[in-house]
Structures are given as C-alpha cells and as structure tokens.
Amino acid sequence: MIKALIFDFDGTIIDTETAWYTAFNEAYRKHGVELTLEQYSTCIGTSLNSFNPYEYLMTDLNLPIDKEAFRISVQGRHRELMELQKMRPGIKRYLEAGKATGLKIGLASSSSAEWVETYLNQLGIRDYFDCIRTSDHVKRVKPDPELYLQALSCLGVSPEEAVAIEDSPNGARAAAAAGMKCVVTPNEITSFLTFDTPHHRIESLDLLEFDHVITRRCFQEPGLQV
C-alpha cells in the first residue's frame, strides 16, 4: 500500500495546456506562422527556457511585434478558453478517496504558487492538499526531480511509498528521476506526445480503480508502458 499521492497541476487537474496551445497557435497564425505541437511540447510541464512561445516570433523570426501587447492578447484568449474548462474526470474522486483512506496528498507543479493556488481555490480543492511545491520553491523545475523530492520530504514519505499523477513527458520524467511510480493521464494535447519513462497510462482517472493505484496493482496490469 502506498502512503501518498502527488499530483501535477497544469494539464492533470485542469487542462490549462490545451487552452495555452490554442491561444498561442491562434496568435501565431495571425502573423502567418504555424506553431507546431513539436515546438510547443518542449515547454509543456517545464519552464519556458527551452522554447519561449511569447518571444519566438520576435527573437527567432524577427517579426515586428509589440511584445507586451502580444503577451496580453495571448493571456486574454487563454482566460476565455479556460472559462470552458472544468476539473478533469476522476480528480475529485481520487482526492476524496485519498483523504478517506488516510493518504497524504501533495502537489508538484512547474508553475508559480500564485497560479496554482488561484485555480485550486477556484475549484474548491485547496484543502485536500497537505503539501504544495511549485517553481517558487525550487531551483530547477521538471523534468528535474527536485519538485517531487521536495514534495516527498514535505509529506514524510519515501519514493516507494508514493505515486505521481501526471499528464506530460517532462512530468513523468521528473517522477521517474525521483524514484516514483507514475500514472499518466494525458490531455488533448499531451496524448500526442511520446513518453519515454515507465508509467501506467489511462485516458482519465475515472477509468482506473483507486484501489489499483494505492496497492500498486496497476503497475503490473495492461497499460504499463515504457
């Protein structure tokens, strides 16, 4: 039996990732540029250091665009798209079941604390989490394991006693590097990406029995992928 669940946030609890890709792609097309999923995927679940979609048109393609106006436009469109988004299926059930069975529940996100806390409060699920670690708490975000290692330490459990819930390859890599088992629930965007670390993949947590996770049975069943 495991003692803790540690959730990713963006794309896992609520699908912010598809909304971001759509908002950026729409903005790029206005300037005659197609933002490929291959390009955008490098910044999913991690920082914008490898590919910064806010700056690419200006720094790499040298297009005469007002950087601040571009940023405001993309973020405004993202907010519009997020009004249509709800908590992903199965998340609330797992949070409730985790609390009912005495599990510790953590969150490890490459986003900022302000971003994460705002959405958790809006969704009404902040109080389920015993520990939250974000980009504000670490030097290196995912795929570096530091976020998960800090969350494990905060919860007082070993990597073998916890399971990560992720949606992206960078997140799954971080969990694996921390020595954890990982359940992957890809969203509309990350379902097209390649995952290169061992994980149990399922379309949503609604399709995976809670007991199969906390007993680690799912990692011996069909669905385990490398």
List beta partners, residue 6.
106, 164
Q: What are phi and psi of 27, to 5 degrees?
A: -65, -40
In angstroms, the CA 91 to CA 28 distance is 33
Model confidence at 170, in pLDDT bands (50, 70, 90)?
very high
How many domains are contained in the chain? 2
131 and 174 co-located in one domain:
yes
pLDDT in the model for residue 221: 63
Q: Residues 99, 172: one domain?
A: yes
Rounded average pLDDT over 57-86: 91
Q: Does one domain contain both 181 and 149?
A: yes
Same-domain status, 162 and 220: yes
Among residues 10, 15, 144, 167, the one annotated as catalytic is: 10
Same-domain check for residues 26 and 135: no
Q: What is the pLDDT of residue 44?
A: 82
CATH label of the domain that carries residue 203 = 3.40.50.1000
In this structure, what are the phi and psi dihedrals at residue 102, rounded to the nearest 5 degrees?
80, 15
Q: What is the pLDDT of residue 37?
A: 87
* 106 and 116 co-located in one domain: yes
Residue-level pLDDT at 45:
78
Which residue bears the tokens 């969203």?
187
When pLDDT is averaged across residues 160-174 and rounded to a whole number, the result is 96
**Domain containing residue 29: CATH number:** 1.10.150
Structural domain range at position 24 = 16-82
Query: What integer best gives the mean pLDDT of the chain?
Result: 92
Residue 226 has a pLDDT of 46
> Which residue among 8, 15, 144, 167 is the active-site one?
8
Query: Among this protein's residues, is 8 annotated catalytic?
Result: yes
Same domain, 73 and 99: no
Return all residues near 14 (Cβ < 8 A) that are at least 6 apart. Answer: 82, 85, 86, 87, 88, 119, 123
**Above 60 in pLDDT, residue 225?**
no
Quick one: 154 and 172 in the same domain?
yes
pTM: 0.89
- Indicate whether 57 and 95 sit together in one domain: no
Asked whether the beta carbons of 132 and 117 are under 8 A apart, the reply is yes
37 shares its domain with 128: no
Give residue-wise pLDDT tens across range 181-205.
999 999 988 988 899 999 999 999 9
Determine what percent of the chain is predicted with pLDDT higher than 90: 78
Please state the length of the chain.
Answer: 226
Q: What is the mean pLDDT of residues 173-188?
A: 96
Of 35, 59, 82, the last residue of a domain is 82
Q: Is 10 a catalytic residue?
A: yes
User: For residue 72, with 0-12 CB atoms within 10 Å meaning exposed, 13-18 middle and 19 or more buried, which class applies?
Assistant: exposed
pLDDT at res. 144: 97
Q: Give yes or no: residues 105 and 210 share one domain.
A: yes
Judgement on whether residues 139 and 165 belong to the same structural domain of the protein: yes
5 with 39: CB under 8 angstroms?
A: no
